Structure formats: structure tokens, C-alpha cells
Structure 1
Amino acid sequence: MVHLQENRKPEEEETMYNNFEHAKITVKHLDSNSASHTHPFSAIFELVDNSYDADSKNLKIDFVDSNGTQRLEFLDDGSGMSRSEALQVLSFGHSNKAPNQIGRYGNGLKSGAFYLGREVLIITKKDKIQTVMLISNQFFDDSGIESQVLVPCPSFDQNGLAVFSTQQEVDRYPAEMEIIKKYAPPGLKTTEDLLNQIEGETGTYIVIYKLKKSVLGELTFNVSWRLNDIAVDKGDNSSIKSSLRRSLENLYLYPKMQIRLRGEIVVPRKICESWMAKREVEISTRSFKNAFCKNNQARQESIAECQEKIGQINSQFGELNTSGLRLAELKSKRRPLNNALDAANKHLAELKKQNDEAKKNFKDEKIVFKMGVQIKKRMENGIHFYINNRRIVSGYKKMFFSRNPNALGVSGYVNLTSNTFRPSLSKTMFESADDFNCLAKKCEDYLAQYFNYFQHQWIPRHLLSLEMNASKPEIALRKFWKFYGYESPLNPLSEQKQVLNANVSSMIVKQCSSWRLCQLCSAWKTHDSLEKVDKLSFKCIDLGMPCSRSAASDNEGFRELPEGKRITPAQRETPRLPSRSSSRLSQINLVEEKPVLAPPSPEVIVLEDDTEDEINFDRVDEDRYTASQSGSQYEGSPPRKRRRPSSNVLEIIDLKTKNAELERKNDKVERAMSNLRARMTSQNKTLIDFLREFPSLPIRIPRRGNDPNETMKFIIDQIKQRNME
């Protein structure tokens, strides 16, 4: 290794640094650009997206704490970057990715990496050449560099020998290696250490160190909660918003790489794998003309830039033709121009083709909104928005859910294309807030229609198949959620039992299906026998299927949502079980679109004990009656005369009515108490975080991760003790 001379003059040092690669940004831009992120996970996802777009098969994410240095490491086996492509990382707004890929702005690596830390080391391998790039804020501070971002960027061949293409690269190589040796993290300071990180033919290795910390010296994320995860302190560390592992499980609708987080594989999870009553509707894209016009303008600008580039190349041809050079020299200088012209013409043809396809798709394309009821972890429900198979907004809950507190588990998702909708820089929201609000409003309107159908049609038929019955939607909802393991059926904070009986488990498998991701072709497959198949070793050949990703192999079982108006209270008659003595149960019509309804009758009182028969005042003949849509015309013989119930039956009815009313009141009180406890916990956590900002206070504040209520009680006891003293 060549070292620089000591006691170098300032003007010589400045001249040497001027030979470095200059980014088309300033140091301040690095800091301000990282402010587009507000959460560590969104920053990490930017680096994961880069590996996904590079067609990586494997990605390793690790947190390393050694030799007093904490760092995050990302290692993939994707296509890697050439030297020229690596240098493009130093400019914003430059991206050669296809329209169906996730990244579009050439911004993700810089914004994500510098949100997490102050120093970034990148090693990438392509075409048997490894390129090392170091972006160090500490180097900028020590050198007094404030305007330009100067970056050491040497390249090496397979034998570890430096590769140069210009004399300028030869001149600056010793200084580059000295800076890397001084500012690179421990264990990555020599050429041998740097070049041994990527074992395959291609790949990229990113190290982020000098991680950002709070005023109290704590990292912005938690690595001690679980050794195989990275979390943020948000109370429930098992949720998708607090656990990186949980959030990575359904980050992509169609995952194509295996992610290993801190040494353990992340098992992909299909977004709708635990949904029941799956329905879908189509939304026309014609309602979003503003989004299309913005994207169309960007496409036209790209076409104009490409045409301008072609014009510049043709101008260079004209200068050569009039230069009077000899034929041999003229041919040698024309050759690179011909290559550049061919590449520019090809790129222009692709841009025009993409523009034509976008116009056609805008007219013909339909947005498919898929809905269902999430049985497991129902608190993670909401509307999930994906663009190009990548989750942008998760668990969106606004007007519909505030108006329908009993819509527990109701969920939906939509997968959009970037031709019409584009994500924001941080990929946590849409680029156009107006278009997002318009789409969200349409989705919520369809959710309201779906929930009405679910309450008044799907649940009664489902309970009937379970030999259960209920006369009112709220009672039906209670029975539904209680059957699937929720002790407080309509309490939003109630969690599902850890162990369900065999009947419930088999019903969940039957309604939701079992999904596995093939480790060879990355296609989702479902089959009745997949429940016992290991998720990490499944291959299509296990089912005797060829490896392929087709529409047939990914049939999620969504059916069209039946059209219909909102059902009035007078129309809310539900199917009832026949008597146990009846032998004609099999003749009841169970087709979902045409439920069997009994003739209108006084309100039916349902015994809460599922083991008892329903008390029904209308003694209906064995001939089943089919209700028309209006509920006023019936086919078959008229019902028998109503019999007067005995006094004992009336007493039972009165008791059961009172018990049901008490249960409703108890649930209401329980929900109010739960909401009060949740608000108190949130307020205590806010106050504790505020107190942590003042380390000089004469009280001891326990470490993060403890219960906020217990922590606040401990602080109050300390204050009382000091007042007594």
C-alpha cells in the first residue's frame, strides 16, 4: 500500500482532493435529503429495495457490535454495479431502473443510509471488477470540506490489483487508500479485507457505521429485545410497525429473494393468508387523471432529454466529418460515438414504447381492490396500498373504521402500477396526496358495502354451517369472533387464544387456505396438504407441480362482491336452523348470492347458550319458504297458526333478554376502560420521553422497554420521597 507523505502543504492537499470523484451534491444535501425519512424501518427498506431491484436471490441484514463500533451491514448477491454505475450513486435523480421496478429517483441508498448513520462504505462487484466507495462525514469535517462531496472510489480486479482507466485515477489512488484506511470501520481497512466480503461473481456489500443516536446516547432502534430482530420502542414490539422482522414478512406481494435478518431467515407471509369472506371489486383508473398527467409529463421530459442527447451526438459526428482527419483516425473516433448513438436510440425507443403502453393502460386498466376479514392478529387490519408489488402504506384506517367500531379484522389491499401512481421519496406515501385521498375514499366506500354484506349475509350463512344461529348482526358478530378464539369478541384489544381446538383450526385452514412460497421460482402455491409442509423448504415439486408463476398458481380465492343497497332494519332477517327432528336439512339452499330467509316475524330471541335450541314463536311447516328480494312474497304453503307460549317459556325469555342486555353493558364498560388505559399509557410514555431529555434531573428513570405505567409510578414515588426528605 502506498502512503502519502506527512506534513503535506494545504494547497497540495486541496489539489489532491480535487482529483477525487465529485458528487453532484453538497454535504448539506446529504443531511437534508435523509430527512425525508421519519422511521428507521423506511430507511432500511430503501436498501432492501435496491437488492430486490438488482434481482438478488439472497440478502443478509446484520447488526455488528465489535471493537467499540456499532454498524449495520447489508450483503446481497444481486447484479452489482460497475464503476460508472457506482459513481452514479453520487448524484440525485439519476436512475436507469425499469418502470416496473421499485426505485425511480436514484435517491434511496443515500437517503436511507444517511438517515441511519454518518458513514457509509460500499463495495460492489460486477464483470469481475470490485469497486470500493467511502462516503465519510468525518473525513469532510477533518478536511474542512463543506461544499463538494469528495469520495474515494478505487477499483480492483480478481487478483486484488488496482484497475485504472485514466492517469488521474493513478495519481489519486494512494490518497484514496490512505483515507479508506483511516476512516473505514475496523476490520475493513486493508485491500484484502475489502475484497473478501463478496464471495459470488456479483453482489453489493454496504456498511453503515457511526449510527445516529439520541441525546441520551441510545440508538434509534432496539437490538436487545430479540437477538434475531430489530425493533423500535412502540409498546407492542410484536406488531408490524414495531418489529422489522414482522414488517419484512409482507413488504412485497411477490418476494423473490430470501432475507436473513441477524442470522435467521425471514419467512414471507402472504398479505391475505388469514382472511375469510374474500371479495373483490374493480375501480376504474379514469378517476385519477391528475396522477396520469403528472407521470405523462415526466415521461415526456425523459423523451425530450434523450432526443437532445441524440442531437448532441449527431453534432459531434458533424464536427468529425469536417475536421479533415485521416480515414483511420476518423473511424477510431466514430466508433464510440456510434455505440453511444445506438444506445441512445434504443433507450428512446423504449421510452416511447413505455409512454404508449401507459396511455393504453390508463384507458383500459382496472384497479382491483381485494377485501376480507383477518382472523389472526386482527388488530393489524386496515387498507394496505402497494405500488409495483411493494408496500407503501400499511393499515390505513380513517373514516370507515371510526364510523364502524365493530369492523374488527376488516381489511383490504390494492396493488397499483407506477404508470398512474408514484410513491413519495421515502416510499411511505403517494407522491400526490390528492390522488391518494381520492383512492382511499373509494376504497373505504367499498369497505362499507363489503362490511354490510359480511354482517348481514356472510356471517349468518357461516354460522348456519357451524350449526349456530343469531337473530341480530351484533350477536352474530359476537358468536363469530368467540368461535375463532377471542374471549372479548367486540373488544379491539382482545387477542386470539394461543391454542385453538382442532375444529376451529381446521375451519381456518378451510376458509383461508395454506400458502407457501416456492424456494426455486418464488411463486405462491396453495394446497390442502400444505399445512404441515415446512415454509422454509417448500418447492413446487413437492406438490408434483412445475415451477412457474402464473395466474392459476396464485389464485387467492377472491370472488366478486355482490352488488346491493344497504339493508334496512326491516330487511335484516337471517336464516335460522331447522329443528333437529327435520330430515330435510340438505335441501336448504346455501348459495351465498341467494340466502334462504324465513317469513317476516316478530323479533326472535336467541339463547346465548349455543348448545340449546333457539326459541321460535313461528312454528313453520317442514316445507321451506324462500324469500324474495323485497321480503314480501313467499313460495309454498302458508305457515301454521302461532301458538301461545307457556309462562315458563316467557320467564326464560325475560331472563335471557336481561342477561343479553347486561352483557352488552359490561362490554361497553370494558371497552371504555380499555380505551382509558390505552390513553393513560400513551400519556405516561410521552411524559417519560420528555423527562429523558433532561439527564440532569435528580431522579432515576428506568431503561426503555418497561411498562410506561409502572415507570411513571416509580418516578412519582421518587418525587414523593424527595419531598418528604
Structure 2
Amino acid sequence: PYLLTEHNTWLQNRLSPKFLHTNSTSHTWPFSAIAELIDNAYDPDVSAKRFWIDKTVVKDEVCLSFMDNGNGLDHETMHKMLSFGYSDKIALNGLEPIGIYGNGFKSGSMRLGKDAIVFSKSKTVSCIGMLSQTYLEMIDAKQIIVLCHLFSLTISLLSVNEDQEASLRDILQYSLFKSQVELLAEIDAISSSTAKTGTRIIIWNLRRTSTGSTEFDFGTDRYDIRIPSEVYEELSDPSQPLNRATSYVPESVVSLRAYCSILYLKPRMQVMVRGQKVKSQLIAKSLAYIRKDYYKPMFLDQQNGFHS
């Protein structure tokens, strides 16, 4: 039940495609990149109650998938999320947003892999957007191009007019999804969550190590995503050599499940890693000794030549 509307456009940013990789290097650790995607769902404008993180395989390609059951995106918000220089997040019901600079999705997704496709479903429309370094390289783009498509949920046929065929063809050619049926199946997957709205992100061409393997270990624990020891050593500060005999590596550094359990001081969203709930740890309650320090600034008075 979708109609591809006239809002199907090529949205362009006057930035070099190389900036996508440069911008992603702000994340030296892959878990912090994943945190950016979690934060987007955690923010009050999305109001997600659950967030799923998993490994998926599409066309023999190992991918990371992320999904929330929040409010979903319309054409405008999808465009802003995929483009640079936009942020209109505000506090809602006394809850302050985490992402206020409009860069989290771009830096996080491009740190994890070269290509990302976003499927989102709101109460009235569904959107598909793609941000792909591979696509930009293949067409020899001189600036970043974001592909964004808006679907209507009002009629039972999917129709594509002549003007829309070119941009839709690019998504079908350069993404992992080679038919309209496959694209719509990913949107329908959102409806299978507890809510009927939400956003689903699939990232492929995952970053590889010097040995050619992905920087994530999906095999050791069926219900976790881990950082292998060789990747940990490769990503760690080279000025601090690792002493295997005496060093202690916290679980939260190498286990995504452990990392997510301490991500928020006051969790209000359930995170699911590979189909299993993450049990949040309230750090303030687990400390052996707790001390509260109240800071009250003392301004210099006029006698010192300053006005407060």
C-alpha cells in the first residue's frame, strides 16, 4: 500500500564526498559510533520505547541493523538527518535532546560502514533514504548526494512516473536491495515491532581490519556483538603498549551488551542486542562510595573591578 510521490528528489550538499570519511574519524571506537544511532532514537522527538541492534545478512553481505519503534520520519526530517548542517531538536516535556548539532547519524553510520540505507514509517508516510560512499565513488560525484524517497500510505499500488525512475534506479542499482518489493519489505519489517511506526537502518560494507575481517565478533556470543582482542589492540593508543599479563580490559570496552547497559544515567528506552534485552546498570547505585559535590559559583564583586 504505497505510492511513490513527487517528493522523490536528489538532495545535495555542497561538500566533497571525502568529507563523509573524514567526519567519521571523530569516532575512534566503534561503540561510540553505535551510541550516536541509539541517541537519535533516545531523543524526545522520536519517543522510542525500544531499540534493536542486530547482525543481518543481505545478498551474502554481513550488515549491522538498527531499528526503533519511535514516531518515524517524514520527508523533511529524513532529509535533515541525512544532510549536513541541520538540527531542529528541542526539549520536549522537560527532556533535553542529546543530538543538537545534526551530525550524529552521519559520523556514526559512516564510521561503521561505507554505506547506509534508512527506512522509516510514520503514521502518514514512509521514507527511504540512502547515504553511500560507494555510490558517490561509482558515479564520480564531486559533492555529497543524498537519495531520499517519500511513499504515501493511502492507496494500494506502487507507481513510479518517468521523472522518478532515475533516482529510484540508483537506489536499486547501488544498494543491496534490487527490487521495489525488497525495499517495501524492509518498511513492512518496521510494522512487526510493538508499534506501527519507527525507523530501520541497515549499514553495509562494514569497516575492515588490516587482516580483512570486520572489526566486530558476531560468533563468540550469539546474544552480543564484541570487539576481538586483535582489533582492540589495533585500535588502542599505540603509545600505551598492552601488557597481556597485567592489563584489565573492562567488558564495556569490548562487549556492546555491557556498553549499552551503562550508556545512560537514567534509561528510558529498552535496548535489545541481537534479540535479547540489555539489563541496564544504574551506575550511581552500584558505586561502593558515593559523594555529592554541589557547586555554587561565587562571582567577583564590584570592589575587584568586575560586575557579576
TM-score above 0.5: yes
Deviation, 1:120, is: 0.6
Call closer, same or farther: CA 1:76–1:179 in 2, change over 3 Å.
same
Q: Identity over aligned residues, as a percent?
A: 30
Deviation, 1:177, is: 2.2
Residue pairs, 1:209-288, within 5 angstroms = 209-232=204-227, 233=229, 234=232, 239-285=251-297
Q: Name the CA distance, whole Å, in 1 between partners of 2:260 and 2:212.
A: 27
Q: Name the CA distance, whole Å, in 2 between partners of 1:162 and 1:21.
A: 22
Call closer, same or farther: CA 1:176–1:161 in 2, change over 3 Å.
farther
Amino acid at match of 2:31: F
In the alignment, is the contact (CA less than 8 A) between 1:154 and 1:173 conserved in 2? no
Call closer, same or farther: CA 1:239–1:160 in 2, change over 3 Å.
farther
> SS in structure 2 opposite 1:33?
helix
The farther-off stretch of 44-53 and 226-235 is: 226-235
Does residue 67 of structure 2 align to residue 71 of structure 1?
no
Residue pairs, 1:544-693, within 5 angstroms = none
Q: Name the CA distance, whole Å, in 2 between partners of 1:157 and 1:194.
A: 15
| Residues 386-416 of structure 1: per-residue CA shift (max 9 Å, x gap) | xxxxxxxxxxxxxxxxxxxxxxxxxxxxxxx
Q: Please say which structure displays the higher CA radius of gyration.
A: 1
Residue among 200, 206, 219 paired with 2:201 = 206
Q: Name the CA distance, whole Å, in 2 between partners of 1:172 and 1:286.
A: 64
Deviation, 1:127, is: 3.5
Does residue 22 of structure 2 align to residue 32 of structure 1?
yes
Residue among 171, 180, 203 paired with 1:180 = 171
- Please give the TM-score of this superposition, normalised by the length of structure 1: 0.34
Call closer, same or farther: CA 1:194–1:224 in 2, change over 3 Å.
closer
Residue among 92, 97, 105 paired with 2:89 = 97
Q: Name the CA distance, whole Å, in 1 between partners of 2:23 and 2:207.
A: 15
In the alignment, is the contact (CA less than 8 A) between 1:37 and 1:112 conserved in 2? yes
Does residue 59 of structure 2 align to residue 59 of structure 1?
no
In the alignment, is the contact (CA less than 8 A) between 1:24 and 1:90 conserved in 2? no
Corresponding position of 1:119: 115
| Residues 354-387 of structure 1: per-residue CA shift (max 9 Å, x gap) | xxxxxxxxx9xxxxxxxxxxxxxxxxxxxxxxxx
> SS in structure 2 opposite 1:282?
coil
Corresponding position of 1:618: none
Q: Name the CA distance, whole Å, in 2 between partners of 1:98 and 1:173.
A: 34
Call closer, same or farther: CA 1:237–1:278 in 2, change over 3 Å.
closer
Deviation, 1:278, is: 3.2
> SS in structure 2 opposite 1:240?
helix
| Residues 662-721 of structure 1: per-residue CA shift (max 9 Å, x gap) | xxxxxxxxxxxxxxxxxxxxxxxxxxxxxxxxxxxxxxxxxxxxxxxxxxxxxxxxxxxx
Q: Name the CA distance, whole Å, in 2 between partners of 1:24 and 1:56.
A: 32
| Residues 160-205 of structure 1: per-residue CA shift (max 9 Å, x gap) | 65699xxxxx554212222222222258753432431210432111
Q: Name the CA distance, whole Å, in 2 between partners of 1:227 and 1:259.
A: 16
Amino acid at match of 1:129: V
Deviation, 1:136, is: 2.1
| Residues 423-481 of structure 1: per-residue CA shift (max 9 Å, x gap) | xxxxxxxxxxxxxxxxxxxxxxxxxxxxxxxxxxxxxxxxxxxxxxxxxxxxxxxxxxx
Amino acid at match of 1:182: Q
Gaps of 5+ in 2: 1-8, 233-243, 300-307
Deviation, 1:212, is: 1.1
Q: Name the CA distance, whole Å, in 2 between partners of 1:276 and 1:29.
A: 45
Q: Name the CA distance, whole Å, in 1 between partners of 2:179 and 2:68.
A: 18
Q: Name the CA distance, whole Å, in 2 between partners of 1:109 and 1:285.
A: 36
Amino acid at match of 1:52: Y
- Please give the TM-score of this superposition, normalised by the length of structure 2: 0.78
Call closer, same or farther: CA 1:77–1:286 in 2, change over 3 Å.
farther
Q: For the aligned residues, what is the CA RMSD?
A: 2.5
Amino acid at match of 2:208: K
Call closer, same or farther: CA 1:63–1:116 in 2, change over 3 Å.
same
Call closer, same or farther: CA 1:271–1:70 in 2, change over 3 Å.
same
Amino acid at match of 1:70: V
Call closer, same or farther: CA 1:215–1:277 in 2, change over 3 Å.
closer
In the alignment, is the contact (CA less than 8 A) between 1:62 and 1:73 conserved in 2? yes
In the alignment, is the contact (CA less than 8 A) between 1:245 and 1:261 conserved in 2? yes
Call closer, same or farther: CA 1:71–1:186 in 2, change over 3 Å.
same
Deviation, 1:66, is: 5.2
In the alignment, is the contact (CA less than 8 A) between 2:109 and 2:116 conserved in 1? yes
| Residues 634-674 of structure 1: per-residue CA shift (max 9 Å, x gap) | xxxxxxxxxxxxxxxxxxxxxxxxxxxxxxxxxxxxxxxxx
Q: Name the CA distance, whole Å, in 1 between partners of 2:220 and 2:297.
A: 44
Q: Name the CA distance, whole Å, in 1 between partners of 2:175 and 2:167.
A: 11
Residue pairs, 1:334-345, within 5 angstroms = none
Q: Name the CA distance, whole Å, in 1 between partners of 2:156 and 2:168.
A: 13
| Residues 548-589 of structure 1: per-residue CA shift (max 9 Å, x gap) | xxxxxxxxxxxxxxxxxxxxxxxxxxxxxxxxxxxxxxxxxx
Amino acid at match of 2:89: K
Q: Name the CA distance, whole Å, in 1 between partners of 2:85 and 2:147.
A: 21
> SS in structure 2 opposite 1:26?
coil
Does residue 22 of structure 2 align to residue 50 of structure 1?
no
Corresponding position of 2:235: none
Deviation, 1:261, is: 0.2
Call closer, same or farther: CA 1:138–1:278 in 2, change over 3 Å.
closer
Q: Name the CA distance, whole Å, in 1 between partners of 2:289 and 2:137.
A: 59
In the alignment, is the contact (CA less than 8 A) between 2:13 and 2:84 conserved in 1? no
In the alignment, is the contact (CA less than 8 A) between 2:115 and 2:204 conserved in 1? yes
> SS in structure 2 opposite 1:48?
helix
Gaps of 5+ in 1: 1-18, 165-169, 288-362, 364-725
Deviation, 1:252, is: 0.7
| Residues 611-648 of structure 1: per-residue CA shift (max 9 Å, x gap) | xxxxxxxxxxxxxxxxxxxxxxxxxxxxxxxxxxxxxx
Deviation, 1:248, is: 0.8
> SS in structure 2 opposite 1:118?
strand
Corresponding position of 2:236: none
Q: Name the CA distance, whole Å, in 2 between partners of 1:108 and 1:163.
A: 33
Q: Name the CA distance, whole Å, in 2 between partners of 1:187 and 1:163.
A: 17
Corresponding position of 2:6: none
> SS in structure 2 opposite 1:78?
coil
> SS in structure 2 opposite 1:241?
helix
Does residue 99 of structure 2 align to residue 128 of structure 1?
no
